[in-house]
Every structure is written in structure tokens, then in C-alpha cells.
Amino acid sequence: MEKLSFFERANNWVRNSITLRMITMGILILLLLIPVDMVEDVIWERENRKQEAVQEVSGKWGNKQRVVGLVLTVPYNEYYKQNSATAKDGYVMIATRKYAHFFPSQLNIEGEIVPEVRYRGIYKIVVYTAQLSISGNFDSPDFEQWKIRHEDVLWDEAFTSLGLADLRGIQKGVSVKWNSKDYFFEPGVETNEVIVSGISTQVPVDTATKDYNFSLALDFNGSTGLEFIPIGETTTIKVSSTWNDPSFEGAFLPDEREITEGGFTAMWDVLHLNRSFPQSFRGAITTLAESSFGVNLIVPVDEYQKSMRSAKYASMFITLTFIIIFFVQIMYKVRVHPIQYIIVGLALCVFYTLLIGLSEHIAFGWSYLISSIGIIGMITLYAHSIFQVKRITVLIGLLLTVLYLFIFTIVQMEDFALLMGSIGLFVVLAVIMFLSRKIDWYNIQK
């Protein structure tokens, strides 16, 4: 037998080495992660465009709203000494205007959130109109706790204010019934120590009246969600809506809630002991937002979230598909060129672009079905051109179908996705170990 040269032996090793094939396959998988990363960037870009559309519509309709109020504010004069050469005592007393704020002893809010789905191009945006009835009462303001003299309190300049995150959402004039008399609100507040964005009106306050009852109706637009601040010594809030996918968030969850196909009803009861700020104080307060709570009107797991979750399994898609082809190659003694691996890998990446594009126009389930049928059919026909064996072609088609069904099942799940994914990988690894248990990796020809 003629002795082979070094280059001939090296060429035979390159052509027949299983180790080299596995290394090459691993390198190709890593290289294909580049287009996978590009696909994820496309998903992020499309989702960001959707968020821009949401912000554009919300900016015109009304942003996410937060209701704070009512708050009773009473100005008073505080004095400090200022040196003066002309004064008899060497100084004069200068008055400065300060504000004392009082929260209601009882705050009741009841209302309805009427959702509406709007479209900006291909994007779906959830907006709403809220009709709230706000009522309660204030105790007579007590300045003795701060040792402020009665004559230093500016009783005739007291006002009450109502906070709303986006004033553009207010649909009609707002008036408060204050001890049986109506007072109309004006935009803005005299001081932003408690409420930054809101409306206010002057109301009569004096020491002779023991308490002040109030009630008002507030109609406004908003989007995404609605929040409240529990400023009452006892705060009771009850809201209902026809939206059947609420997400309750914030510092307090509802004490009672009911969610059906026809919508939801939720009720909160919050005591002043449950929060970190007092019922009456002077100056600014910055901890109100810590106690906010409410409800978001969510679209559960939209097409971009599902597409991104699918793309997270792209490396597993590619790896398992390559492993299938590799084992068929080993078991049936067929050569598969690295270029052919790359073509199959790129076809798997195209699946995600098809999925994203279709899911923006039709339901995600149908998008997944159409995309997977197209890619499975294309890879199966391409495999037939490589292996030229009908049985192998059918086997690859069936395995890809099972793989795509498995990933679809995981994507649809939210709470059990990790568990199902782990079980699926365990089963796949067990099958691979079973099929490869009798392969003599040191003595494989071709």
C-alpha cells in the first residue's frame, strides 16, 4: 500500500474527524448568535416604537393618572428677627408666609374606569375615562399643636386642593360641595409643598365650625393605569371596570377584589397608621408617593413580549437542530458541509423575523403557526436534498415540529415557563444520551 503524504493524511483527518465536526458545529452555533442578537435588537426597536406610539396617544388623551386629595391648606404668618440700626431694640420682626396642611379624617372615593382600545398605526393602546365620586370630611384645623397664635393664622385665605397627575385629562368643570355650598376649582395650587399638579379653590374655614363635609364629582381621561394616595385618616376606595386584565400594584393590594370575564371590582381600606406621613403638618412633604397604589389596565404578554421570549430560546433552537442533523449524519454515514449547517441556522433565524412581522398584524398564535410551518417545510426539503432518504427527511420534519410545539407551549406559559423548559431540556438530553449510548466515538468512519 502506498504511503500517504502528510497533507493527504491531514486532509483525511479533516474530512473524517468527529471531533473537528463537533468543534466546527460549536463555532457555527456561536457565529449564528450574531444574527440572533440582531433579531432581538429588531424586537426591542419595534417595542420601543410601540411605546412611542403609546406616549404620543397618551400625551393627547391623558397620561397615567394619580389622584391626591382633597387637601386643606391654611396659610399663617411666622416671624423672625432682622437686625435694624433704626429700631429701638436693634431689630425688627419680619413676617413670612407659611402653610399648614391638613388631610381629611375620612376620605371616600368610588368610581368607574371605562376602558377603550385605540390604535396608532398597527399599535394597540389602552386608554380610559374615569368617573369618580370623592367625599369625606375634615376636622377643624388645630394650630395649637404648633403653638401658633390665632391672630397669626390667615383663616380667610384657606383653600382646598385636589391633585391630578395630568390636568389635560379633565373633561368638565369641577366644583366641591363644602358644607352644602358649591365652590369651583381653578387650575394650579398656591404652593407645591404637597401637590405639584392640581386644582384648588378657596373655602371658608374658621374656629367656630367643628368639621367640614365635602363631596365632588371628577371626570377625566387617562391611560395605562390609575393610582391613589391614601391621605385620609381612614381611606376607602372602590373602583370597577369592564377591563378583565387588571394588575394591582403599589403599597397596598385590594382588601376585596373580583375579576371576571366582564371586568373587575376592587376595594381598598387604608388607615393612617399604615403610611409614613401624618394627618397635619407644616411645610413640604416628600413621602406621599411611597404609599401610592392602584390598578394598571394591562395587555398580558403582548406580541413583542412573546416574540422576545421565543428569541431567548433561539440558541436552543439552533443547537438542538444541529444536534439532530449531526446524529443523522453519524448514524446514516452522510456528510454535511459547514455551509449547509449555516444555511439551516440562518433559516432558523428568519423564523423570528417572520414571527415579528406577522404578529404585528395577526394573532400571535397564527403568526407562530404560519412562520413555523414555513421554516419547518423549508428545512425539511433542504434536508431531503442533503440526505436523499425519505425516512430521514420525515424524521427531521417530525423532530422540528415537536421542537417548535414545545417552544410555543413554553412561550404561552407565564408561571410555569421555567419549569416546563427545564423538564423539556432534561427529556431532550435523556433522549440524546439514549441514542448515543452505543456509538463508538473513537471508531467512526465518515
Which value, to the nearest 10 degrees, does the dihedral of the CA atoms of residues 32, 33, 37, 43 take?
Answer: 70
Supply the pLDDT for residue 436: 66
* 69 conformational bin, left if phi > 0, alpha if psi -120 to 50, beta if neither: left
Alpha carbons 358 and 382: distance in angstroms, whole number = 24
Residue labelled with grid coordinates 403557526: 369
In 360-389, which residue ranges form alpha helices assigned H by DSSP? 364-387
Backbone angles phi, psi at 88, to 5 degrees: -60, -45
Name residue 350's beta-bridge partners: none
Q: Is the pTM of this model over 0.75?
A: no
Cell of 369: 403557526
DSSP secondary structure letter of residue 153? B
Name residue 100's beta-bridge partners: 74, 282
Supply the pLDDT for residue 124: 74
Supply the pLDDT for residue 34: 81
Sheet architecture: strand order including 256-260:
181-184, 175-178, 211-223, 123-139, 106-120, 234-241, 263-271, 256-260
Q: Rg of the chain over CA atoms, in angstroms?
A: 34
Residues of the chain with CATH 2.60.40: 63-299
Supply the pLDDT for residue 1: 47
Q: How many helices (H) and strands (E) does the chain have?
A: 8, 17
If you count them, how many residues does the chain have? Answer: 446
Query: Running along the chain, 446 residues long, what does each successive block of 10 average in pLDDT?
Result: 54 59 77 78 75 71 87 91 68 83 95 85 80 94 89 92 91 90 92 92 88 93 91 94 90 92 93 91 89 85 69 76 77 76 84 81 83 88 82 82 82 68 74 68 58
Q: Is 417 exposed, middle or buried (0-12, 13-18, 19+ CB in 10 A)?
A: middle
Alpha carbons 408 and 365: distance in angstroms, whole number = 9
Alpha carbons 203 and 73: distance in angstroms, whole number = 10
Cell of 286: 416628600
Supply the pLDDT for residue 109: 95
Strand pairing report for 106-120 and 234-241: parallel
CATH 2.60.40 fits 63-299, yes or no: yes
Residue labelled with grid coordinates 420534519: 397
Question: Which residues, including other chains, have CB under 8 Å from residue 228's CB and lie 6 or more apart?
Answer: 66, 67, 68, 109, 235, 237, 268, 292, 293, 294
End-to-end CA separation in angstroms for the chain: 21
Backbone angles phi, psi at 65, to 5 degrees: -105, 145
Alpha carbons 355 and 365: distance in angstroms, whole number = 10
Alpha carbons 109 and 135: distance in angstroms, whole number = 7
Supply the pLDDT for residue 116: 85
Alpha carbons 120 and 130: distance in angstroms, whole number = 22
Which value, to the nearest 10 degrees, does the dihedral of the CA atoms of residues 294, 159, 277, 267 take?
Answer: -30
Burial 40-50 (b: 16+ CB within 10 A, else e): bebbeebbeeb
Cβ atoms of 100 and 203 within 8 Å: the answer is no
